[in-house]
Chains A and B, each alone.
Chain A
Amino acid sequence: MKMSEVIFHNYQLLPVITRFGILLGFGEKTVAAVCADYNINLEFFLEITNSFIDEDYIPQKEFLSFPVSLVVDYLQKTHKYYLEDKFPEIEVMINEMVYCAGGDTEKRVLVKNFFDEYKTEFLNHINREEQKVQPYVLAIEDAFMKKKLPEDLLRQINEYSINDFASEHDNIEEKLNDLKYIIIKYLPPCSHPSLYNKILLELFLLEKDLNMHASLEDKVMIPKVALMEKILIANFQK
């Protein structure tokens, strides 16, 4: 299949290929050829794109065969996309919305503040994942591969295992949901209705991307790490 056909099939994959580092202009090249050009694991690319097209695709057994480091790498790229592209874009529109004429500016300020609150929460969530969870996950995989379990990692498993992370994995999508409801149902209209629509469209797309991101964590990364933890403990705990 040509890479261009993939995009024509589902344009929502555009940001996905971008975060893999793939740039447009791939001519007649197939998916395999483009992945080879960019040094991307073809199977993993296919799994990710499939799971975007079909929400129930995750978890496929195939996913569990990839190294966790590959999954973490993808999660980090996605984080980068949220932080460097999506949130700044939405923020510009929200600021524009505050100052557009008509309606009640004060009410739009409330929505902007709510968005800022959501953004802060989101940043904290990502920071925690990148600074605490992901290094731990990679350490587990490293130990598993080397068949060696350092003392401090063993202690860490006992103190804070991946299942603790899973149970704390707070649902940051709730605020995003609320933001959509508030704009659609309760915010008085302004003189620039298409701006509201643009913001909403971005929020819907972001929500879809986040859901997919979360199921990659919950249904692929966490079970895989939990399994490795178990095997490591069974082999090394005295």
Chain B
Amino acid sequence: MQRVKFIVIEKSYLIRKGIVSIINRIEKASVVSELDNLYNFTSEINKHNPDFIVLNINLFKESEASGNEFIPFNIIEKGIAIVSSDIRDEKIINTFKEKIYLDDDKKTIFNKIERLINESHFKEPLIVQNELSKREITILKLVARGMTNKEIADNLFLSAHTVITHRKNITNKLGIKTISGLVVYALLNNIITLNDIK
């Protein structure tokens, strides 16, 4: 299952670790990166392509005051603001998708984050085709017989690249990585018999 990715940017170690542990407790959510300042955030965002960015708006204000670049659109778009409870009505806060106040109770914080996850463009793929396709079964049979990718490719008039892609898909569907594991799978499911591999 693919998880919804968060980046947390917060200077205070205490608050950052708190937020991270809350997010990681939510099913489907995981924090892919933590930062304590805004200096490297662009590269981190490019690297992880997060679904949400949780950041303290004070950092935002500090960088603005020091004349650094303005927070780009993608942060606003994906941003969740961490706000101390004494500033509730600033304009800037309202540009964020959601605000977490430092005096929010547990339930409120969880609800806010979960609502965002559910509303976001992120949806589980509706139907996952997880049975092996006919082509994949054909390839599995040959793998089980001990053929190399090259031999399989020649045998089926495919490119080696295609064979590798099929093999990756087989492993993703079954969760089985080794060749002998695949042999056991094929035998258990009567895709091959013991005579085939002797």
Could you say which residues of chain B place their CB within 8 Å of the CB of A117?
180
Q: Are A174 and B174 in contact (CB under 8 A)?
A: no
Fill in one digit per residue for A67-108: 1 if any B CB lies within 8 Å of its CB, else 0: 000000000000000000000000000000000000000010
B188 and A110 within 8 A (CB):
yes
Q: Would you give the 0/1 interface string for B150-183, flagging 1 where the beta carbon is closer than 8 Å to chain A?
A: 0000000000000000000000001111101100
Specify the chain A residue showing the minimal Cβ separation from B176. Answer: A178
On whether A186 and B180 interact (CB within 8 A), knowing A177-B175, A181-B174, the answer reads: no
A-side contacts of B180, CB under 8 Å:
114, 117, 175, 178
Is A233 an interface residue, CB under 8 A from the partner? no
Task: Judge whether B188 and A178 touch: CB under 8 Å.
Answer: no
A181 to chain B, nearest CB (A): 4
Beta-carbon contact of B184 and A111 below 8 Å: yes
- A170-211 interface mask toward B, CB cutoff 8 Å, 1 = contact, 0 = none? 000011011101100111100000000000000000000000
Partner of B176, one of A110, A111, A182: A182
Interface residue tally for chain A (C-beta within 8 Å) = 16
Given contacts A175-B178, A179-B181, A182-B185, 12 further A-B contacts (CB under 8 A): A107-B188, A114-B181, A114-B184, A117-B180, A175-B181, A177-B176, A178-B177, A181-B175, A182-B181, A186-B184, A186-B185, A187-B188
A186, B188: Cα distance in complex, Å: 7
Q: Which secondary structure dominates where chain B touches chain A? A: helix
Which residues does A use to contact B, with CB under 8 Å?
A: 107, 110-111, 114, 117, 174-175, 177-179, 181-182, 185-188
* A110–B184 touching, CB < 8 Å: yes
How many angstroms from the CA of A187 to the CA of B188 in the assembled complex?
Answer: 7
Which among A117, A186, A188 has the greatest number of chain B C-beta atoms within 10 A?
Answer: A186
Q: Which residue of B lies closest to A108 (CB)?
A: B188
Task: Give the 6 A-B CB pairs with smallest separation, nearest first.
Answer: A178-B181, A181-B175, A174-B177, A178-B176, A186-B188, A114-B184
- One of A111, A174, A185, A186 near B178 (C-beta < 8 A): A174
Decide if A182 touches B178 in the complex (CB within 8 Å). Answer: no
User: Given contacts A181-B174, A181-B175, A181-B176, are A186 and B181 in contact (CB under 8 A)?
Assistant: no
Write the nearest CB–CB distance from B65 to chain A, whole angstroms.
35
26 A-B Cβ contacts within 8 A? A107-B188, A110-B188, A111-B184, A114-B181, A117-B180, A174-B177, A174-B178, A175-B178, A175-B180, A177-B175, A177-B176, A177-B177, A178-B175, A178-B176, A178-B177, A178-B184, A179-B181, A181-B175, A181-B176, A181-B181, A182-B176, A182-B184, A182-B188, A185-B174, A186-B184, A186-B185
Chain B residues near A178 (CB, 8 Å)? Answer: 175-178, 180-181, 184
How far does the alpha carbon of A186 sit from the alpha carbon of B182 in the complex, in Å?
Answer: 11
B125 to chain A, nearest CB (A): 20
Taking the complex as formed, is B45 at the interface, i.e. its CB lies under 8 A from any CB of chain A? no
Could you tell me the distance between the alpha carbons of A185 and B180 in the complex, rounded to whole angstroms?
Answer: 16
Residues of A close to B185: CB separation below 8 A: 182, 186
- Name the residue of chain B whose CB is nearest to the CB of A178: B181
Closest chain A residue to B187 by CB distance? A110
